[in-house]
Each structure stands twice: as C-alpha cells, then as structure tokens.
Amino acid sequence: MSTLDTLLLLVFPALMAFAAVSDLLTMTIPNRVSLLLIAGFLAMAWLIGMDWQTIGLHFAAGALVLVITFTMFALGWIGGGDAKLAAATGMWCGFGVLLDYALVASVFGGLLTLLILYWRSALLPEFALKVNWIARLHHAKTGIPYGIALAAAGLIVYPNTAIWTRIAGI
C-alpha cells in the first residue's frame, strides 16, 4: 500500500474523530463535517473506480438513514447534527455494511447514554465545573453527545466498507 493509499484511508477516520470531539466539547457537529464526508466519499469512489450504480446505491443507503434519523430528530430523540452525520456515514457504509453500522451505533449509543447518566449522578469537584464543556455535559438538562457513538460505530465498521477493501487490497 502506498503512502497516498494510507492518506486516503485516513480521510473518513479523521472526520469521524473530529465529529466525536466536536460533539463532546460543544454538543454540535458542524455541517461541514457531513458535507466533507459526502465530498470525501465521492472523491474516494471516483479514485477507486466505483461504478455509477454502486455510487447510487451508497447514496440510497445514506438517504434511507437520513429519512430515519430526521424522523428521530423531528421527534426530539437526536440532534440534527447526529442525523446528518449518521446519513453521511451511511453513505460510506452502503447497504452491505449499513445494518452493522446501525447495530453498533445503537449499542454504543446505549452504553454512552448509561455512562453519562451515571456520571451525571456524581458530584464533580468545583474546578471541573468551571470548565464549560464539562459543566454542560454534566448538567441533567443537556442531551447526550450521540455523535461520539455514531463516530465510534463508523470507525468499527469502516474496514468492511467497499472503499476500505478496495484501497487496502483486501
């Protein structure tokens, strides 16, 4: 594998890591992350010679996730950034890995939620509460930074995606 191949394989993980950290620190996932994931997918698909039908199926997988997650957003279950991140990640996954992604994201999301709810029941030292993101995350009215679970799940299933397997030569 060439250095270029290695760099290309790092596009998705770098964006996932950024999304997770951003959600943890600010409780938001910038729109540019989802847009960069879409653009990155298109560039990678072109670079590996993915045919238009397969690209269309990957877009359909992302669209399906978008419909489901925006319904969840409308019901107040997740944030808009989470919905967009899940949809963009679904596009990278395609239908072949989408169910695995959904399952892993659900398990990680449940564990993350339980962990944060438990953590919120603990008293924090005064100095920790002076750190804005810690105080915000510890507050009972704050949501769960589900982007962390979505990003972690994406990283877990990424080696099974068409892009990874073609570039890595697996």
29 secondary structure, DSSP code: -
Instruction: Please choose, from the candidates 4, 22, 147, 132, the residue with its C-alpha nearest in 3D space to the C-alpha of residue 89.
Output: 147
pLDDT at 170: 56
pLDDT of the residue at 6: 75
Task: Report yes or no: 168 and 44 within 8 Å, Cβ to Cβ.
Answer: no
Q: Tell me what pLDDT residue 145 has.
A: 95
- What is the per-residue DSSP string for 114-132? HHHHHHHTSPPPHHHHTSH
Task: Give 57-106 as a 3 state SS string.
Answer: HHHHHHHHHHHHHHHHHHCCCCCHHHHHHHHHHHHHHHHHHHHHHHHHHH
What is residue 4's predicted lDDT score, i.e. its pLDDT? Answer: 64
The ranges assigned to domains in the chain are 3-168
Instruction: Quote the CA–CA distance of 72 and 83 in Å, as a whole number.
Output: 8
What pLDDT does 112 receive? 97
In whole angstroms, how far apart are CA 123 and each of 114, 118, 126, 139, 142? 16, 11, 9, 11, 16
pTM listed for this prediction: 0.92
Tens-of-pLDDT digits for all 170 residues of the chain? 677 667 778 899 999 999 999 999 999 999 999 999 999 999 999 988 999 999 999 999 999 999 999 999 999 999 999 999 999 999 999 999 999 999 999 999 999 999 999 999 988 888 888 889 988 989 888 899 999 999 999 999 999 998 888 887 75
At 47 the pLDDT is: 86
Cα atoms in the Cβ-side hemisphere of radius 13 Å centred on 100? 15
Cα torsion angle, 144, 67, 46, 102, sign: positive
Number of helices followed by number of strands (H, E) in the chain: 9, 0
